[in-house]
């Protein structure tokens, strides 16, 4: 059994989609990041970075004590390796999936996160910051557009790289960036979105979603608490 500490947000969705695609036993434990649950000492003991998601595996492969994993890239590799799905074992294919997974973790995730922040949440409109992160988001979408030429999925077979990028590209409207200029990305997006496991992953915790733009308390817990 996996304990999945999560919230309805792109990084949470990445792992929510994966556990649903894997159809493994898990329970989701909501960490309400708009209420500040991520800052509690009890949660920091699980994720020292104070962000969602994190997992605790109560049946790790070495049959040892429960094992905790934080950081979405590490969680996705851990679960995919354990279940031997969505991450090929062939050296070259595996490396390609990892390259695109880390491209998401270090690139499109943080850039879209900042684009969303300055476009949607920042108390002042800072045109330089909005343009900077939207431009970088578009540059990364063009990289994905080119990669998808002749491919249904990022590394041919559907993998954790697709799940990870999908969860972030899903929020494109909240960054003020349209997918219309990226027709292959748009088609790929539809292919991923239509998978039943993806639908189920997105539905977890959906009823608890909070519109951060409408809550000063949420903005404080997300953006000010650590200042």
Residues that bind ligand GSH (CB under 6 A): 9-11, 33, 38, 51-52, 71-72, 105, 222
Q: Closest Cα to residue 218, out of 133, 120, 111?
A: 120
Rounded CA-CA distance 102/165 in Å is: 10
- What residues pair up with 67 in beta bridges, in sequence order? 57
Please, is 73 exposed, middle or buried when counting C-beta atoms within 10 Å of its C-beta (0-12, 13-18, 19+)? middle
Please report how close the Cβ of residue 223 comes to ligand GSH at its closest, in angstroms. Answer: 8
| Comparison of 38 and 134: residue with beta carbon closer to ligand GSH | 38
Number of H helices, E strands in the chain: 10, 4
Please report how close the Cβ of residue 72 comes to ligand GSH at its closest, in angstroms. Answer: 4
| Comparison of 109 and 184: residue with beta carbon closer to ligand GSH | 109
| Comparison of 137 and 145: residue with beta carbon closer to ligand GSH | 137
Please report how close the Cβ of residue 36 comes to ligand GSH at its closest, in angstroms. Answer: 8
| Comparison of 72 and 114: residue with beta carbon closer to ligand GSH | 72
CA dihedral 166, 171, 176, 179 (to 10 degrees): 30
Please report how close the Cβ of residue 90 comes to ligand GSH at its closest, in angstroms. Answer: 26
Rounded CA-CA distance 218/34 in Å is: 4
Please report how close the Cβ of residue 9 comes to ligand GSH at its closest, in angstroms. Answer: 4
| Comparison of 152 and 223: residue with beta carbon closer to ligand GSH | 223
């Amino acid at each position: 059994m996996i304990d999945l500490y999560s919230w309805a947000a792109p990084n949470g969705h990445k792992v929510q989609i994966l556990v649903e695609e894997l159809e493994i036993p898990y329970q989701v434990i909501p960490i309400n990041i708009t209420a500040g649950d991520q800052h509690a000492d009890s949660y920091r003991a699980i994720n020292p970075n104070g962000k969602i998601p994190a997992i605790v595996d109560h049946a790790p492969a070495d049959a040892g004590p429960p094992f905790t994993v934080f950081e979405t890239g590490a969680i996705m590799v851990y679960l995919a390796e354990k279940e031997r799905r969505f991450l090929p074992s062939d050296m070259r294919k595996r490396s390609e999936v990892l390259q695109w997974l880390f491209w998401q973790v270090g690139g499109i995730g943080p850039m879209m996160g900042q684009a969303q922040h300055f476009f949607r949440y920042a108390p002042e409109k800072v045109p330089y910051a909005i343009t900077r992160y939207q431009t970088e988001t578009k540059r990364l979408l063009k990289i994905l557009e080119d990669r998808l030429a002749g491919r249904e999925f990022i590394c041919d077979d559907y993998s954790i790289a697709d799940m990870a990028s999908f969860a972030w590209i899903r929020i494109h409207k909240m960054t003020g960036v349209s997918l219309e200029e990226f027709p292959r990305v748009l088609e790929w997006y539809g292919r991923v979105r239509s998978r039943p496991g993806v639908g189920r992953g997105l539905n977890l915790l959906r009823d608890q979603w909070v519109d951060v733009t409408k809550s000063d308390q949420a903005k404080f817990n997300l953006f000010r608490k650590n200042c």
